Structure 1
Amino acid sequence: MKIALIGYGKMGKAIDAIATAKGHEVILRVDLNSQHLLEKEHLEKADVAIEFTTPETAYHNILKCFESNVPVVCGTTGWLDKLPEIKEHCEQQHQAFLHATNFSIGVNIFFEVNKKLAALMASQPQYDVWMEEIHHTQKKDAPSGTAITLAEQVLAAVTRKTGWVNAENQQPENLSIISKRIDPAPGTHTITYTSAIDDITITHTAHSREGFASGAVVAAEWLKGKTGVFTMRDVLNL
């Protein structure tokens, strides 16, 4: 499989190493100094593109892939207000798009555990719920996309909470997400249900970027040759 890597920071380099070790060929590496390569003449040679950039550039990069008829796997967060537009473009142009706030297989299983626990706690009003996420200091958005996904899952079930806030919070209707930036943490997410009697806590802790990078390569392998809009739930058949 021929891969175009759009974004060549720490995550891009980790994806490069894993994809190469699996026998794939990375034919294009686009970083801040090589934006001129993000054109159809280069992109169309790839079987799939993997995009990990910034909230400011992701939307444009994805459209470039669609114009070049290249399936795109995107892990950039912080731009998802435009996700409905991207989905519409994808479907209208019969392209392939897969987005995830986190490609780690463990995190995607954790998402399912989170939804199940939230459903169980929905009928237990004696429990308050709050969240914490910890990432490295180079993380550009807060809360993390993974934390927002987890929060939205909680809010869908625990209707006594009406929205999330990225701060410690005293309003009972708000779900508090506390964001911490501490090096070298690649990512820890914790959801805590607390009552006067006891606490219930679930946590996912990443030990390195390898899980995220490996999952992105698995997603790219799965997406090749398909059309439509997908998530990691489709890849993992969850």
Structure 2
Amino acid sequence: MKIALLGYGKMGKVIEQIAMQRDHEIVLRKTSSDSYEGLEKADVAIDFSVPDSAVNNISTCLENGIPVVSGTTGWLQDYHKMVNLCKEKNAAFIYGSNFSLGVNIFFELNDYLAKMMAKFNQYNVSMEEIHHTQKLDKPSGTAISLANSIINHTDKNNWSIENPNADDVFIDVKRIDAVPGTHSIFYQSEVDTIEIKHTAHNRDGFAFGAVIAAEWIIDKKGVFTMKDVLDLK
């Protein structure tokens, strides 16, 4: 499989290593200043860039009929535009706030727990999200996905990272050197606390999942998620 890497930072380099270990070829390593030369050779593109570049990267792939897997967060105000473009071009697109197998299992656990806790109004739900100091977006895309799942199944209406209202899911965002990513959900009452937590030890899990998604999307048409890739539906 020939892969175009759109974004060649720390994550892009880890994805490259894992892809090559799985006998794939990298035909483009794009930073923000590079052209798309080589994209036409790709069977699939993996976008781990920055919020300001993601929409252009994804749309360029879709316009050229190249399946694209994106793990860039912080641009989701334009997600529906990319979905519509994918359908218009009969192309293939996966967006994931997190491609880690463990995190996607954690998503399912969070969803199940939120449904269970919805009828116990003595518990207040909150979250904590910790990442390295180079992470640009606050909160993380993973934290937003977790919060939105809680909102879908409880009486919470929104999420907030400061000055939360009673109907908000408060996300305590922390930036600490060399932390790949930690997400915790707390249900707290006067008598006890229920907590679920996912801690990433390095970037390898994210990168491996992205490569698996790229392998899966070949020869498919449509808009997908990691639930489709991992058959979690």
TM-score (normalised: structure 1): 0.96
The answer to whether the Cα contact below 8 Å between 1:131 and 1:191 also exists between their aligned partners in 2 is: yes
- Partners of 1:175 and 1:30 in 2: how far apart? 37
| Equivalence map 1:115-194=2 (5 Å) | 115-159=111-155, 161-167=156-162, 169=164, 171-194=165-188
What are the superposed Cα offsets for residues 113-169 of structure 1, whole Å, 9 maximum, x if unpaired?
Answer: 00000000000000000000000000000000000000000000111x111101253
What are the superposed Cα offsets for residues 44-81 of structure 1, whole Å, 9 maximum, x if unpaired?
Answer: 21000000111111001111111221100000000001
Q: Paired residue for 2:25?
A: 25
The answer to whether the Cα contact below 8 Å between 1:7 and 1:51 also exists between their aligned partners in 2 is: yes
- Partners of 2:59 and 2:145 in 1: how far apart? 24
Flag the 1:163–1:143 CA change in 2: closer, same or farther, 3 A.
same
- Partners of 1:50 and 1:68 in 2: how far apart? 14
Q: Secondary structure at the match of 1:44?
A: helix
| Equivalence map 1:88-127=2 (5 Å) | 88-127=84-123
Query: How many residues get paired?
Result: 232
What are the superposed Cα offsets for residues 191-237 of structure 1, whole Å, 9 maximum, x if unpaired?
Answer: 00000010000000000000000000000000011110000000000
2:194 to 194, 200, 213: 200
Q: Paired residue for 2:223?
A: 229
Identity %: 54
The answer to whether the Cα contact below 8 Å between 1:4 and 1:46 also exists between their aligned partners in 2 is: yes
- Partners of 1:67 and 1:114 in 2: how far apart? 36
Q: Secondary structure at the match of 2:41?
A: coil
- Partners of 1:168 and 1:210 in 2: how far apart? 35
TM-aligned CA deviation for residue 32 of structure 1 = 3.0
- Displaced runs of 4+ in structure 1, greater than 6 A? none
Q: Paired residue for 2:79?
A: 83
Q: Paired residue for 1:52?
A: 48
RMSD: 0.9
- Partners of 2:122 and 2:154 in 1: how far apart? 12
What are the superposed Cα offsets for residues 92-127 of structure 1, whole Å, 9 maximum, x if unpaired?
Answer: 110000000000000000000000000000000000
TM-score (normalised: structure 2): 0.98
Q: Secondary structure at the match of 2:171?
A: strand
- Partners of 1:141 and 1:75 in 2: how far apart? 13
- Partners of 2:157 and 2:19 in 1: how far apart? 41
Gaps of 5+ in 1: none
Gaps of 5+ in 2: none
Q: Secondary structure at the match of 1:77?
A: coil
Q: Secondary structure at the match of 2:51?
A: coil
Q: Secondary structure at the match of 1:208?
A: coil
Q: Secondary structure at the match of 1:57?
A: helix
